[in-house]
Amino acid sequence: MENNQNIESTAPDFPNRDKVRSDAVEVMDKAKTAGREQLESGKQTTASQAEKIADVIEHASLRLKENNLQTLADYASEIGTTIKNFSEGLHKRSVDDLVVDIREIARRNPTAFLLGSIVIGVGISRFFKASAERRREPNLKDSEIVDKSSYQPYVSE
């Protein structure tokens, strides 16, 4: 114990230590707030997209019923309802609640959580790859679009 007192008494006193500490806390709080805002924005975007997908699937279910494909229509309707419930859950729940749920799933079933994370990662990477490829494609203007119906086949004589 005497050694600890000697170390503390010989340690240099930094007059700005409290300021540095408070600045660090402030930066961390700002980072947390920015991260939370990003997550909230992503959550709302995901919920909106899921809602649109659910509507499309529900529309497909109605079309299947019209074509007397009742079993497929029932499956599609069930999938649409599940996606819509997921979307509503995202809209209603906070980011903190979702994080708690994710941690609980990871604790209860780590294998499923790991596999789900891999699937999500692959899906996200494919999305970004497709987006990058679309950005590289040249945008054709109306004046550059050619009416292919006016082409005559080339016949060699």
With cut-offs at 50, 70 and 90, classify the pLDDT of residue 31.
Answer: confident
> Which of 2, 98, 4 is closest to 44 using CA atoms?
98
Query: Does residue 9 surpass a pLDDT of 50?
Result: no
Min mean pLDDT across 32-46, 108-122, 127-141 is at 127-141
Query: Does residue 146 surpass a pLDDT of 70?
Result: no
Q: What percent of the chain has pLDDT over 70?
A: 76
* 84 neighbors 61 (Cβ within 8 angstroms): no
Q: Average the pLDDT over 3-8 and give the result.
A: 49
* 86 neighbors 53 (Cβ within 8 angstroms): no
Instruction: For residue range 64-109, list pLDDT tens digits in order.
Output: 899 888 898 898 899 889 888 888 888 888 888 888 888 898 899 8
Q: What is the pLDDT of residue 39?
A: 80
With cut-offs at 50, 70 and 90, classify the pLDDT of residue 62.
Answer: very high
Taking CA 91 as the corner, what is the angle to CA 32 and CA 46, rounded to the nearest 5 degrees?
75
Q: Reduced to 3 states, what is the DSSP secondary structure of residue 139?
A: coil
Spatial distance between the Cα atoms of 77 and 6, rounded to a whole number of angstroms = 74
Alpha helices in the chain (DSSP H): 2-10, 17-66, 70-92, 95-108, 110-136
Q: What is the pLDDT of residue 138?
A: 59
Q: What is the pLDDT of residue 41?
A: 82
* 44 neighbors 91 (Cβ within 8 angstroms): yes
Spatial distance between the Cα atoms of 101 and 105, rounded to a whole number of angstroms = 6
With cut-offs at 50, 70 and 90, classify the pLDDT of residue 14.
Answer: low
Q: Reduced to 3 states, what is the DSSP secondary structure of residue 15?
A: coil
* 87 neighbors 50 (Cβ within 8 angstroms): yes
Q: What is the pLDDT of residue 44?
A: 84
| Single-letter amino acid code for the residue at 73 | A
Say how many residues make up the chain: 157
Min mean pLDDT across 19-28, 29-38, 78-87, 133-142 is at 133-142
* 80 neighbors 61 (Cβ within 8 angstroms): yes
